[in-house]
Amino acid sequence: MLTVSKAKSHLGGLVDEVQEGAPVILVHGDKLAKLERYEPLDPDADSPRIEAMLLEAIKGPHAPYSRAEMEAVLGKVIRENRKR
């Protein structure tokens, strides 16, 4: 474990360690962060995994608003504009 301030001057070496398979834990106050190797997905080989990630994103908190939600927002805007 390293503090963020100590890690700044050793970032290149830490990235090398992570690439060799050793995760690095950083401490910032009372918060911890883990640096670990990232392997980009291969669209041909990992298509089921990519599809699962996309489906999860669609259902997640950043999914588009439903029609009912958009109509509720529109109704609120119209009501607020009528008051002006």
Domain 2-35 sits in CATH 3.40.1620: yes
Residue 31: per-residue pLDDT: 92
Report the percent of the chain where pLDDT is more than 90: 26
pTM, entire model = 0.46
pLDDT in tens, 45-64: 778 887 888 888 777 776 77
Q: Identify the pLDDT of residue 44.
A: 77
CB 14 within 8 A of CB 24: yes
Longest dimension (CA), the chain: 63
Give exposure, 9-18, as e/b (b: 16+ Cβ within 10 Å).
eeeeebeeeb
Q: What residue segments make up the domains of the chain, in order of their start?
A: 2-35, 47-83
